[in-house]
Amino acid sequence: MIKAGIIGSTGYAGAELAGLLLGHPEAEVVWYGSRSYTGQEYTSIYRNMFRMLDAKCLDDNLEELADEADVIFTATPQGFCASVMSDRILEKARVVDLSADFRIKDVKIYEKWYGLEHKSPQYIEKAVYGLCEINREEIKRTRLVANPGCYTTCSILTLYPLVKEGVVELSSIIIDAKSGTSGAGRGAKVPNLFCEVNENIKAYGIGNHRHTPEIEEQLGLACGENVILNFTPHLIPMNRGILATAYAFLKRPFSYEEIKGIYEKYYGEELFIRLLPEGVYPETRWTEGSNFVDINFKIDERTGRIIAIGALDNLVKGAAGQAIQNMNLMFGLPEVLGLERVPLFP
Amino acid sequence: MIKAGIIGSTGYAGAELAGLLLGHPEAEVVWYGSRSYTGQEYTSIYRNMFRMLDAKCLDDNLEELADEADVIFTATPQGFCASVMSDRILEKARVVDLSADFRIKDVKIYEKWYGLEHKSPQYIEKAVYGLCEINREEIKRTRLVANPGCYTTCSILTLYPLVKEGVVELSSIIIDAKSGTSGAGRGAKVPNLFCEVNENIKAYGIGNHRHTPEIEEQLGLACGENVILNFTPHLIPMNRGILATAYAFLKRPFSYEEIKGIYEKYYGEELFIRLLPEGVYPETRWTEGSNFVDINFKIDERTGRIIAIGALDNLVKGAAGQAIQNMNLMFGLPEVLGLERVPLFP
Amino acid sequence: MIKAGIIGSTGYAGAELAGLLLGHPEAEVVWYGSRSYTGQEYTSIYRNMFRMLDAKCLDDNLEELADEADVIFTATPQGFCASVMSDRILEKARVVDLSADFRIKDVKIYEKWYGLEHKSPQYIEKAVYGLCEINREEIKRTRLVANPGCYTTCSILTLYPLVKEGVVELSSIIIDAKSGTSGAGRGAKVPNLFCEVNENIKAYGIGNHRHTPEIEEQLGLACGENVILNFTPHLIPMNRGILATAYAFLKRPFSYEEIKGIYEKYYGEELFIRLLPEGVYPETRWTEGSNFVDINFKIDERTGRIIAIGALDNLVKGAAGQAIQNMNLMFGLPEVLGLERVPLFP
Amino acid sequence: MIKAGIIGSTGYAGAELAGLLLGHPEAEVVWYGSRSYTGQEYTSIYRNMFRMLDAKCLDDNLEELADEADVIFTATPQGFCASVMSDRILEKARVVDLSADFRIKDVKIYEKWYGLEHKSPQYIEKAVYGLCEINREEIKRTRLVANPGCYTTCSILTLYPLVKEGVVELSSIIIDAKSGTSGAGRGAKVPNLFCEVNENIKAYGIGNHRHTPEIEEQLGLACGENVILNFTPHLIPMNRGILATAYAFLKRPFSYEEIKGIYEKYYGEELFIRLLPEGVYPETRWTEGSNFVDINFKIDERTGRIIAIGALDNLVKGAAGQAIQNMNLMFGLPEVLGLERVPLFP
């Protein structure tokens, strides 16, 4: 039985981790870390798990936790994980960091977009970017996974085969993304109040959202070129789900079958990526609660563009589910273990 | 492996059954019945289960299905199950009827409230009312379960210990219930359109909702007296969940501990009923996607009333989950099998 | 032109006042008070009114404001208005207080339910309870109106004719109320975040909600007897709207026409109360954005109860609209002035 | 007093017209046409207007209506208005057609995208495209207005100054639009049920939505060149509102002030277009219920693109409000008459 600790267990992503690990046959949580609720019953905060577990929230002492856990999940604000990371921790435990601290290989870009000094850049190189479908083998061998962001997982997986195979004009890529509100976290802020989000849609972080360089870097690694693109997130009045609508010019006319073949080449065997039938497009509802990413595309012959669309649950494949998929890989377990949930609809 | 057939598998309750049975280790679906979609791929209608199952919708021939299945779930409109029930079917298969056809023991009351002639009243006596927490032993021995309605499950379980133990004035009982919209089914009707339900709350079926006599009959059986009460359902702009707020005069002043003890007596060992801590009241979100019923109460000394509140997911404990709980009981399986889902929040 | 000041103008009720006064032909706002946003452009906070007004938020100095305004609206936390009220203010300006400070005549009850010491009980007697349909003449003559709460307006108006005419058993009254989330205010609190409210319903303030004594006192004044009842509010995932479902035993069997006649007697001429046709029940959506209260009832012969239902927009008839209706009365204007909005649907 | 008739008065756009005209000081509705509800009380269908008007639904006989009305609004399915249009009707009454029948000047494009034969192409040339801010003078002189679609109004107004002034690469334009569900109409269809729309976002009409050629034609007229672009609509779980996020390469680096100046040049004096302050972006909530379009832009120096964003209420500026704005222009009335509503928030 793998012993797991969660730092930041009372945020939405942390709680999703807790819930998923409850149903995981080979792992158990030994540490529910929460700076805000230390000492309180975990299920007094997340009553959905009432009677399913019995534990008090602990603090966020990673050094101490490393003595007790085989794997540590950090679902913490940017900068925290980098500020406490140490060789000792990594020797004792594997770490899956759900923050952005070790996602971006170029530390200058990290510091610029996040406005933070990186406290332990020496671990960036060691960290593997935890997009399982792309870096599976590296993940198996690492002790530190940088779990991708929710927008980025959806955006990268939607575009990866197209970029990798060089079928689209890189400079023409635009990603217009839409997210449910759980992505904004559980902090008490006026803009996230029910009455402010409900019956509304807005764009935010236009031209400067922090997930932009992460997407650019990963797509750049895929094609070996510099990628600069527009990424615009929007806030949607729903709890869960991300939809990414991506646009790009095709370098030449491609047939449906050609592009389909390219997606099949990369994702045909993937358990959590569902390539939808022709003419059927992703909707977030079909993925809710599950680790699936649904993907499809449309070639617009009029404009010469491909529109590729991806959908996932931001708390599962976009955060906690992917983190567990990474854990499974790191510990040599079947990748789907604990992640077999049927999407909940309606 | 239990072979299961679902008649009405493309309604919301039927699809919930399909989803839950996908995760059930001892059962598999051999027949996805759907009069509306016969011949179509099941997952072209419920894309959440895309790639998780591969089957075409079949018709609603119960006789034929009984040859192939060990258990038949009928999630069909009122009157259908009664109109096709036969000795032959019940000899070959066990049946869990999610409609109201066999719930009400007094056929005259059924015919009056439902405005239908009952086509097979001879099976009413054989049918066991499938509220597992109350009729567990009878369910184990029957071949025909009348699976309770969603409002009724919530209302009866909330009030049962109080009525059974005779602590409330029967004539003072009022149940004010609120339901998510999936309870209205998947039929294409103007009142259930998004724009009609969203940003609205309304009462309906005031004084004549069909779940009223079912609640009255079951509570009457509990106390051996005639129960007549007010039950008022309301439609809420959310997908899932029922909250029942029940009011009654206490026959004499009771302490919190006395009433708590009564609830503990009946539900203390129940796996799917969670009696909440003092001062914490049920909310539908904490049960979403699960088979839990959350219950608590408040004694109002000013008025001499008890307010008892219950919450559940109408598609799970209020329909498909309870049906599987009944199946588990009928086949001698652990009651929780396939029903271990952690409630999904947010 | 009436000069109006709003203290607490950046809460939801305050902003509704601002919006309604923008469309009022005989009034203009000269003071947008806001302790939180003093010095900021009002429309930088409420961008719906961008370019419709041009003013900076001022502080909450009532003495100073009284020199500039003919009428002051206080949409402030409990206790504030009582703590600053003075003869000087009331000599210079009329006041409509949207808080509870002067609603309850029995100061001991106020202090007990609100847990506050009342700082100026000497004004309680002078204040008129501003339920226009009931206290119209007194309102015309007063300089201090205690504007009723949202739940209370809906509850009292729904039950008033029945209680006044003595047709119901007072001890049997139960009010089960449901409210949109704007009633919870614009404070940044975790329980009011989108993801906490959405896809959920809960009861709160069970047995101890502060609107209870206000309803009891007013209904008691109507019938000349002591009224003690149960009032249970519920939080609904929608922005606006209150639905009150009220239950009581009829003292004897009444016909539909008898009860209808009683409602007509009190409300037949009222501009803002709409008695719906037989069999049609209030829904909050039909009142959204307007000052209407929709009311209807059902006699349940089986149980001997009447179920009376009312619906309104909590920010309009339940707060700002009623405040303006009161202002119109106090200044001798037509009661509907500035309140002619057609309810917005969908 | 202008006498108005509404054909299709029981759809959402028709009802918005009815509501707005109730508050219009110079117009009154003399004919509520509704094929589905002929003979029924109008307010039995739209109870928000109960007691505000008293009329039965009439049929959709335009010839007869033209004898009684000064202006006719047709909020009807595609093809209807073209199939009944006649010289006689246009001689007797002015017509504002909310359908697409006379919007597209190139009848072949209309027939191709709508899959309909156009029954009266002779009126296309006479019809003026009713985007008031662009075609104001022509509208004043015409008897037949083709009222723009909701997506198109938002998309065109957002991009018009940029295209007109030639600052963007035409081939690079992408419009990613998001709409509330009232845009889908009041027809009883499964995909528009509450449980299907709620907690979901999806793209639809990818590459072939019918508003595409309308946007292309109008932007093409603005710049005198052929415009081919991508337009992708998305369905959002909210009642009202459209947000259009438009992307294009700037032909050269522009400063914020330059682009701001261009917008000011075209819209600086417009009553219903609000250019937001720098750094503040449109959100649909700030326009709800009003005739406003909110617009702003961001120059992304990294990519060389401009991101221009517009928001409006699809039922008001996107349909009924614009129709009344057109009526005001046609009848020489102040453009804002009957359209002064303050946006309703929350």
B300 phi and psi angles, rounded to 5 deg = -100, 100
Q: Are strands B305-312 and B293-300 parallel, antiparallel or unpaired?
A: antiparallel
The answer to whether the CB atoms of C239 and A199 lie below 8 A apart is yes
Q: Say whether A223 is catalytic.
A: no
In this complex, which of C203, C238, C309 lies closest to B281 when CB atoms are compared? C203
Q: Which residue of B has its CA nearest to A272?
A: B51
Contact across the interface for C195 and A237, Cβ inside 8 Å: no
- The whole-angstrom distance between A152's CA and the closest CA on chain B is 21
Mean pLDDT, chain B, whole residue set: 98
Tell me whether B189 touches chain D (CB under 8 Å): yes
For B120-133, b where at least 16 C-beta lie within 10 A, e where not — what string?
A: eeebbeebbbbbbb
Question: What is the structure's pLDDT at D305?
Answer: 98
Banded model confidence at residue D22, pLDDT cuts 50, 70, 90:
very high
Interface partners of chain A (CB pairs < 8 Å, 3 or more) are: B, C, D
At A129 the pLDDT is: 98
Q: How far apart are CA B223 and CA B219, in angstroms?
A: 7
Q: Does B279 touch chain C (CB under 8 A)?
A: no
D182 at the C interface (CB within 8 A)? Answer: yes
Quote the minimal CA–CA distance from D191 to chain B in Å: 9
- Mean pLDDT across the stretch D91-119? 97
C192 touches chain D (CB under 8 A): no
Q: Is D15 close to C345, i.e. CB distance below 8 A? A: yes
Handedness of CA A163, A168, A173, A178 (dihedral sign): negative
Averaged over D260-281, what is the pLDDT? 98
- Which CA distances in Å does A173 have to A162, A229, D228? 11, 5, 17
pLDDT tens, residue by residue, B66-124: 999 999 999 999 999 999 999 999 999 999 999 999 999 999 999 999 999 999 999 99
When scoring D154, D181, D194, D199 by the number of chain A Cβ atoms within 10 A, the one with the most, hence best to mutate, is D199
Backbone conformation region of residue D241, classed left if phi is above 0, alpha if psi is from -120 to 50, else beta: left
CB contacts < 8 A, C to D, total 82
**Mind listing the pLDDT tens digit for each residue in A237-273?**
999 999 999 999 999 999 999 999 999 999 999 999 9
- Per-residue pLDDT, D198: 98
CB-based contact D201 A303, cutoff 8 Å: no
For residues A70 and A2, the answer to whether their CB atoms sit within 8 Å is: yes
Q: Give me the residues of chain A with pLDDT under 50, please.
A: none
Q: Is D50 exposed, middle or buried (0-12, 13-18, 19+ CB in 10 A)?
A: buried
Residue A278 structure tokens: 């022709």
- Mutant choice from B45, B46, B194 vs D, greatest count of D C-beta within 10 A: B194
* pLDDT tens, residue by residue, C208-252: 999 999 999 999 999 999 999 999 999 999 999 999 999 999 999
How many angstroms separate the CA atoms of A342 and B321, rounded? 14
For B336: left if phi > 0, alpha if psi spans -120 to 50, otherwise beta; the answer is: alpha
- Within chain A, strands assigned E span 2-7, 27-33, 71-74, 94-97, 128-129, 144-146, 174-179, 202-203, 230-235, 242-249, 273-275, 293-300, 305-312
User: What is the Cα D134 distance to its own chain's centre?
Assistant: 13
Min Cα separation C48/chain D (Å): 4
pLDDT value at residue C311: 98
Q: Does D53 touch chain C (CB under 8 A)?
A: no
Strands D2-7 and D27-33: what pairing?
Answer: parallel
Q: Which residues contact A159 (CB under 8 A, 6 or more apart)?
A: A168, A173, A175, A219, A246, A248, A308
Other Cβ atoms within 10 Å of B56 Cβ, number: 14
Contacting residues of A for C197, CB less than 8 Å apart? 194
Nearest Cα residue in chain A from B198 = A199
pLDDT of residue D219: 98
Say which residues have a Cβ less than 8 Å from residue A262's Cβ, sequence separation at least 6.
A161, A162, A165, A167
**DSSP code for A243:** E
What ipTM is given for this predicted complex? 0.97
pLDDT of residue C254: 98
End-to-end Cα spacing for chain A: 34
How many beta carbons lie within 10 A of that of residue A88, not counting itself? 12
Q: D343 in contact with C at a CB cutoff of 8 Å?
A: yes
Dihedral in degrees, nearest 10, Cα atoms B71, B76, B78, B84: -50
How far is B221 from chain C, CA to nearest CA, in Å? 19
Q: How far is B56 from chain D (nearest CA, A)?
A: 20
Give the tokens for residue D300. Answer: 């992304």
Edge-to-edge strand order for the sheet containing B174-179?
B202-203, B230-235, B174-179, B242-249, B305-312, B293-300, B273-275
Low-confidence ranges of chain C (pLDDT < 50): none
pTM value surpassing 0.80: yes
**Contacts with A47 from chain B: Cβ below 8 Å:** 276, 280, 283, 286, 294
CA distance B30 to B69: 7
**H or E element: which one contains D309?**
strand D305-312
Beta carbons of D189 and B188 less than 8 Å apart = yes
Tokens 């595609």, located at residue: D78
Calpha distance B99→B81 (Å, rounded): 7
Q: What is the pLDDT of residues D175-186, one digit of tens each?
A: 999 999 999 999
What does the pLDDT read at residue A342?
Answer: 97
